[in-house]
Amino acid sequence: MMKTKIPNTPLLVNWSLSVHCNFNCKHCYSRLEKYSELSTEENKEIVKKLVAAKIYFANFGGGEPFLKKDIFDIALFARENGLHISVSTNGFLVDEEIVKKVKESRISKVEISLDSAREEEHDNFRNKKGSFRKAVTAIELLKKNNIDVAVSSVISKINYKNFSELIDLVRKLGVKKVTFHNYKCSGSGFINRDELDLTPQEWMEFYKNILIKKKEVSDIIVSLDDPVICLLKEFGGREKTIVPGSSCGKLSLAIKPNGDVTPCGFMPVSIGNILKEDISDLWKNSPVLLKLRNKEAKGKCVSCESYEECLGGCSARAYAMSGDFNQPDPHCWKEDDVKNPA
Amino acid sequence: MKKIKRNPEIVWRIEIEEEELLKRAGNGEDVSEDAVITLVIADMVHQLNYVASKIWMLSDGTMGEDEIVSKILENFETDEKTLKEDINFFLSRLLKEGWLIYDENKNT
């Protein structure tokens, strides 16, 4: 059994170049954030710092990355220096010209947000009429040009019962991977959580159903990124990971548009600024990251037999709801054994 | 014999330098299962222990399968038969997965 060890530096950074967006999604974690943006040269400086720290993967998120005018310049510079760039986008701006630039700047993968196979559901969730059509067209265009495409879907009240239809659509579009993201209570997602977030029981049902479906699907990678899934061992449990709990601050970090570094995009806690500080030093010595890697079980986690694997679930969600990332993930459906002995 | 090399498409990095690892081993620490090299393949993270990392590093296009096995055997005082079987299994698995490839231009 390989010893679990935090890598020397992150394997991936989720990098928001801008929080500007052409959408106004109800669940958006970044829309309410305000940051000054860096110049092209400053962003290239970040690329150099990442590569010097042997970090070879970055994902441009946002905001909508394709609104950022110098994205392709930064992406090409990154690739030429050994940093592989992927982009998470709503797909609305993707046309022949953007696709050409994606190819020219050697962006390795584009992940398109698609939350439902039902046009109205997707448009309603994304708060943008026509967004479903545009997302599907973007996928078709990227596929036609041999660009690696994946689908990214945020689970909410709107779509959690219809995931099978989305998997079918993904298959029909010829996409090989779909990731179902758990709902994060950050930014607008926090404000709209009562309307959109599932109850713990609904999360359990959703994960049970999708784990059953996942076993049946062999031609598409169905990816789930939620540590609480390890409670469902009888349904296959969580996919094999090299670190227990959430990967934020253990395998990955996030960079904000002004260069601030946070454990993940959904946790608005700056641990420093990459332009002013050494990323390897932040990674090794940040008190916040050290605490995230050495969580202390609280509440019902104390008596939970899955804690070693789950580590209290999503730290960002616990932090958003309680101000303490050691608290149990609010999505966890497990009964408190101490309060409710079997 | 065909030379073996790492698939150039695979992104990988060294987590622990051999010198540091051997120093720790010299101090009595069990390092046999430490993650020495990390590979990222199709969004999946894989980590290699010391022996696997040695095989990975030796797969630089200068050696064939038998030469790699011999080189590893030189460095480890253990049951030769078992180690040889393990190395061959590992090599064939990585070749099957396409993480290692035969260098078509180089033959012994």
**Residue among A61, A282, A336 at smallest CA distance from A181:** A61
Who among B34, B38, B40 is closest to A3 (CB)?
B34
For chain B, say whether A57 makes contact (Cβ under 8 Å). yes
The pLDDT assigned to A248 comes to: 92
Element housing A284 (H / E): helix A279-285
For chain A, say whether B18 makes contact (Cβ under 8 Å). no
Tokens of A76: 């090409």
Cis peptide before B26 (omega within 30 of 0): no
The pLDDT assigned to B104 comes to: 77
Average pLDDT over every residue of A34-41: 94
> Among the listed ranges A14-28, A41-55, A161-175, which one has the minimum average pLDDT value?
A14-28
Whether residue B46 has pLDDT greater than 60: yes
Where residue B75 falls among pLDDT bands split at 50, 70, 90? confident
Q: Give the closest-approach CA distance of A81 to chain B in angstroms.
A: 13
Task: Report the percent of chain A where pLDDT is more than 70.
Answer: 97
Whether residue B74 has pLDDT greater than 90: no
The pLDDT assigned to A330 comes to: 95
For chain A, say whether B57 makes contact (Cβ under 8 Å). no
Whether residue B106 has pLDDT greater than 70: no
Residues A54, B13: C-beta atoms closer than 8 Å = yes
ipTM of the complex: 0.83
Task: Please compute, for residue A87, the number of CA atoms within 13 A of its CA located in the half-sphere on the CB side.
Answer: 34
More confident residue, A84 or B32: A84
- pLDDT 10s digits, A129-157: 999 999 999 999 999 999 999 999 999 99
For residues A277 and A259, what is the distance between their CA atoms, to the nearest angstrom?
Answer: 10
Whether residue A2 has pLDDT greater than 60: no
Whether residue A342 has pLDDT greater than 70: no
Average pLDDT over every residue of A205-220: 96
Report chain A's mean pLDDT, rounded to a whole number: 94
For residue A115, give the amino acid letter. D
Radius of gyration of the CA atoms of chain B, in A: 14
For chain A, say whether B103 makes contact (Cβ under 8 Å). no
Average pLDDT over every residue of B77-106: 88
For chain B, say whether A130 makes contact (Cβ under 8 Å). no
The pLDDT assigned to A339 comes to: 56
Q: What is the 3-state secondary structure (H, E, C) of B26-80?
A: HCCCCCCCCCCEEEEECCEEEEECHHHHHHHHHCEEEEEHHHHHHHHHHHCCCCH
For residues B14 and B38, what is the distance between their CA atoms, to the nearest angstrom?
Answer: 6
Whether residue A5 has pLDDT greater than 90: no
C-alpha dihedral (B72, B75, B81, B85), degrees to nearest 10? -30
- pLDDT 10s digits, A233-252: 999 999 888 899 999 999 99
What pTM did the predictor assign?
0.91
Whether residue B50 has pLDDT greater than 70: yes
DSSP secondary-structure letter at A240?
Answer: P
> Among the listed ranges A101-110, A275-284, A305-314, B97-106, which one has the minimum average pLDDT value?
B97-106
Checking DSSP bridges between strand B11-14 and strand B37-41, what pairing results, if any?
A: antiparallel
The pLDDT assigned to A12 comes to: 96
The pLDDT assigned to A1 comes to: 47
Average pLDDT over every residue of A265-281: 96
The pLDDT assigned to A3 comes to: 56
For residue A98, give the amino acid letter. I
CB B71 within 8 A of CB B63: yes
Chain A residue whose CA is closest to B52 = A2
Average pLDDT over every residue of A108-126: 96
Who among A2, A84, A223 is closest to B35 (CB)?
A2
Report chain B's mean pLDDT, rounded to a whole number: 90
> Among the listed ranges A43-52, A103-112, A164-173, B30-39, which one has the minimum average pLDDT value?
B30-39
CATH no., domain B3-106: 3.90.930.60
Whether residue A341 has pLDDT greater than 50: no
Where residue B60 falls among pLDDT bands split at 50, 70, 90? very high
For chain A, say whether B43 makes contact (Cβ under 8 Å). yes
The pLDDT assigned to A337 comes to: 63
Across chain A, the runs of DSSP E, i.e. the strands, are: 12-16, 57-61, 84-89, 109-113, 149-154, 177-181, 221-224, 252-255, 260-262, 272-273
Tokens of A327: 């608290």
- pLDDT 10s digits, A48-92: 999 999 999 999 998 999 999 999 999 999 999 999 999 999 999
CB A17 within 8 A of CB A60: yes
